[in-house]
Each structure stands twice: as structure tokens, then as C-alpha cells.
């Protein structure tokens, strides 16, 4: 407010407004003047709150959140009534609550709280607040404070809320793309490992040893129990030099013995030995 040294503000208490400023104004009338509380006879009249605010320097001399102070007179709804008309401009002041102003345990006045509503400008409704101080219910001289309703500050970072949402959406899409690429890469790595394992198994797999007779389409059948063998020539001319390749039959016989014969005297063991002796003799393996 104008007229104060730098850093000094007019911040009277409710008791000071009632006991000093309002009481002196009610008692002395125009004889009491204050540079901090303006006289505004038409506060309850045709002017809108923003008009009064601008006219008395609210836009130029009052910091955000600070009120303007006024002495004014209330107007009764009817000459003999007790109720007051609190219309202002095209709207009205709607009473919200009141509190008692107490000094040394004694009630010295009331403080009423109002909100502006019903005006022709919808964006101004509920945008103005007013306090009315009175000495008693019948007194027409009152002290009023007028202030703009403080606007709620947006949450920290809300000015970039849309940008944050867009950024989050971009990040989610990027994460999805990365996940897809990683999944595809894992599948490719698994395929490479499987192919490499198959290649190693194939390289380490032993080759089957086939008899020459098998290569020629012939076969030799050995009867383990009868001790005899039958030969099917590979060609029209049987080639004995290929028979030694069947020496592995000895391993087969003794392998069978290991499974079925418990002692060297076992009949199966004897029969197998006799068969081998005969087989060696017939094939000149001496």
C-alpha cells in the first residue's frame, strides 16, 4: 500500500481494526481519517468489486494477496428493518460465517466473511472475498476489507504436464521397440546355438563300420546256439579275404556270454568256444 516505507506493510489485527479504527470512525465520523483505510460511501452500491479495486489502487499499490481497507455505511433493506442490503454492482455478497472479536475476554465486535457471487461476469463470481467488521448489529458504520481470492497455484511441474505425458508415451514406445529387438536377438542367438550344437554332434558322431559283404549286398548269419554259420556270397565268387573283417563276431559272442554265462563251465560258454574254434578252423585263422 502506498505511503509505507519499503518493507513495511499495513497488517492490523482484528482487534486493532475494531477497537481503534472502527470505534474512532463510528464515534468521530468524518473527523477521523486514516491514510490506510479509505472512505468509500458507495461500497455497497452500483460499483462492481473490480471497479472499486481498481479505483482505490488495488491494481497498482497492493501486492498479490493483500487487501484494501474501507470505511462505509450499510444500507437497510427496509427503513424499520434490521437486515442490511449487501448488493454490489450486478452481484451480491453471500455471507459464509462470522466470528466474535474479543479483547480482554470481552466481545467488542463481529467479523463477517463474504464471497461475491451472482454477478453479470461469470469469471468474477467467487473471485472476490470481503470481511465486514461491525461494533454491534445495529450500527451502520462498518469497516470492510476487499481482496482477490487467491488462485491455486498449479502443482509443481504441471505447466509441463502435457510435455511430460508425451515424453512418457515416447519412452514407452521406445521401450516396446527395444523389447521386440531384444526378443528377436535372443531367438536368433538360440537358433545359432542349436545349429552349432548339431554341427558338433555330427562332427563327433562315429562312423558305422560296415562289412565288405554288406557293401556288396551279401550277409553272414551266425547261430550262437547251434554253433554253425551260413554264408550268402557277396557275388557269384565268394572272396574269403573279406571274412577277417568279421572278427568282431568274437566280440559279439563274448559280449553275449558276459550277459548270459555266470562261469566258464557254463554250457553256453562251452558252446560258444566250440563255435569259435570251428569258425577259426574253417576260415584258416590259425
Percentages of the chain per state (helix, strand, coil), in multiples of 5: 40, 20, 35
35 vs 63: CA distance, rounded Å: 17
**50 has a pLDDT exceeding 90:** yes
Higher pLDDT, 120 or 171: 120
Mean pLDDT of the 145-170 span: 70
Per residue in 58-117, pLDDT tens? 887 777 778 999 999 999 888 888 889 999 999 999 988 899 999 999 999 999 999 999
Q: Identify the CA nearest to 38 among candidates 16, 68, 78, 17.
A: 68
pLDDT at site 160: 56
Q: Could you say which of 2.170.150.80, 1.10.1370.30, 3.30.1060.10, 3.30.420.40 is the CATH number of the domain covering 14-148?
A: 2.170.150.80
What is the model's pTM?
A: 0.53
Q: Of 47-61, 161-175, 211-225, where does mean pLDDT reach its minimum?
A: 211-225
Q: What is the mean pLDDT of the chain?
A: 76
Per residue in 16-37, pLDDT tens? 999 999 999 999 999 999 999 9
Q: Where along the chain do its domains lie?
A: 14-148
Per residue in 211-249, pLDDT tens? 444 444 444 444 444 444 444 444 444 455 444 444 444
At which residue does the C-alpha cell 555330427 appear?
A: 202
Q: Please answer whether residues 144 and 70 qualify as being in contact, where contact means their C-beta atoms are separated by less than 8 angstroms.
A: yes
With H, G, I as helix, E, B as strand and everything else as coil, classify residue 198: helix
Mean pLDDT of the 178-194 span: 82
Beta-strand ranges (E) seen in the chain are 38-39, 68-73, 75-76, 84-85, 87-88, 91-103, 106-117, 128-134, 141-148, 219-223, 228-232
Amino acid at each position: 500500500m502506498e505511503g509505507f516505507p519499503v518493507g513495511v506493510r499495513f497488517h492490523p489485527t482484528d482487534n486493532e481494526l475494531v477497537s481503534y479504527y472502527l470505534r474512532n470512525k463510528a464515534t468521530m465520523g468524518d473527523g477521523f481519517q486514516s491514510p490506510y483505510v479509505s472512505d468509500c460511501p458507495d461500497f455497497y452500491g452500483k460499483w462492481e468489486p473490480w471497479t472499486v479495486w481498481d479505483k482505490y489502487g488495488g491494481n497498482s499499490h497492493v501486492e498479490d494477496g493483500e487487501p484494501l481497507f474501507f470505511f462505509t455505511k450499510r444500507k437497510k433493506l427496509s427503513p424499520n428493518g434490521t437486515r442490511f442490503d449487501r448488493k454490489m454492482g450486478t452481484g451480491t455478497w453471500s455471507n459464509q460465517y462470522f466470528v466474535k472479536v474479543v479483547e480482554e475476554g470481552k466481545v467488542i465486535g463481529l467479523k463477517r466473511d463474504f464471497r461475491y457471487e451472482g454477478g453479470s461476469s461469470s469469471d468474477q463470481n467467487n473471485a472476490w472475498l470481503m470481511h465486514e467488521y461491525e461494533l454491534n448489529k445495529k450500527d451502520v458504520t462498518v469497516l470492510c476489507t476487499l481482496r482477490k481470492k487467491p488462485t491455486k497455484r498449479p502443482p509443481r511441474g504441471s505447466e509441463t504436464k502435457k510435455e511430460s505425458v508425451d515424453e512418457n508415451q515416447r519412452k514407452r514406445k521406445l521401450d516396446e521397440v527395444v523389447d521386440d529387438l531384444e526378443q528377436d536377438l535372443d531367438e536368433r542367438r538360440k537358433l545359432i546355438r542349436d545349429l552349432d550344437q548339431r554341427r558338433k554332434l555330427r562332427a563327433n558322431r562315429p562312423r558305422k563300420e560296415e562289412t565288405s559283404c554288406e557293401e556288396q549286398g551279401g550277409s553272414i548269419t551266425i547261430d550262437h546256439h547251434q554253433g554253425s554259420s551260413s554264408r550268402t556270397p557277396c557275388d557269384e565268387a565268394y572272396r574269403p579275404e573279406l571274412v577277417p573283417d568279421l572278427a568282431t563276431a568274437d566280440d559279439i559272442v563274448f559280449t553275449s556270454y558276459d550277459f548270459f554265462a555266470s562261469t566258464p563251465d557254463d554250457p553256453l560258454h562251452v558252446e560258444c568256444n566250440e563255435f569259435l574254434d570251428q569258425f577259426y578252423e574253417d576260415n584258416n585263422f590259425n
